[in-house]
Every structure is written in structure tokens, then in C-alpha cells.
Amino acid sequence: DIQMTQSPSSLSASVGDRVTITCRASQSISTYLSWFQQKPGKAPKLLIYAASSMQSGVPSRFSGSGSGTDFTLTITSLQPEDFATYYCQQSYSSTLTFGGGTKVEI
């Protein structure tokens, strides 16, 4: 299986901050990488697919970049509703795998 490693596992930030989350794949996955946001007690929500394509309805402060093995999710000007856990997920392999998550908290 392709292992997905996120860093950091958690971070503290303030409203208005720029936040960057990193996801590294154990092998090259081209741009078959998605990002999800999950709030407590809720299902994950798709933010970014194909490494940098924004899902419909997602605020433009969210952006994704990267290819191969290294990817980033950036949130410019963090908003109160952005405090959540973020997961990356690869679909390069037929066995889909997720990163361990990054919790963004105050």
C-alpha cells in the first residue's frame, strides 16, 4: 500500500494566519491527491482533488499544490470555521489510503 504521511499532526494558529499542511507519499502518485476537512462529529468534506483543483463551493482561501511525492494544503487567512482536522488521500493506487490527519486548533 502507498503510505501517506502528514505533518504536522497538529498545529495551533490564530484567525487570519496563513497555514500550510504537508502530505508526503511513500512513492510517486503524480497528482492523484485529494484533501478533506473534517469537523467533530461530521463526515469529511472534499476540498481539493487532483492535487490543486478546488471542489465546487470551497472558499478560495484554500489551495493545494504539489506532484510526485510532496503535496501541500494552504489556507490563507484562517477563519473561525476552518478549525478542523484535515486529511490527504491518494487515489493513484486501487487501494485508496489516507494520511493520519492534521488537527488545526486555536
Partner 1 sequence: QLQLQESGPGLVKPSETLSLTCTVSDGSISTGPYYWGWIRQPPGKGLEWIGTISYTGTAYYNPSLRSRVVLSVDTSKRQFSLKLSSVTAADTAVYYCARQRVSGRPGVAAAEPDNWGQGTLVTVSS
Q: Is 42 an interacting residue with respect to partner 1 (CB under 8 A)?
A: yes
Q: Is 89 an interacting residue with respect to partner 1 (CB under 8 A)?
A: yes
Q: Is 69 an interacting residue with respect to partner 1 (CB under 8 A)?
A: no
Q: E strands along the chain, which residues?
A: 4-7, 10-12, 19-25, 33-38, 45-49, 53-54, 62-67, 70-75, 85-90, 97-98, 102-105
| Beta partners for residue 87, in sequence order | 36
CB of 60 to partner 1, least distance (A): 19
| Beta partners for residue 36, in sequence order | 46, 87
Q: Is 96 an interacting residue with respect to partner 1 (CB under 8 A)?
A: yes
Q: Which of residues 17 and 72 has its CB atom nearest to partner 1 in the complex?
A: 72
The helix (H) or strand (E) run that includes residue 10 is strand 10-12
CB of 56 to partner 1, least distance (A): 9
Q: What are the residues binding partner 1 (CB under 8 A)?
A: 1, 30, 32, 34, 36, 42-46, 49, 55, 87, 89, 91-101
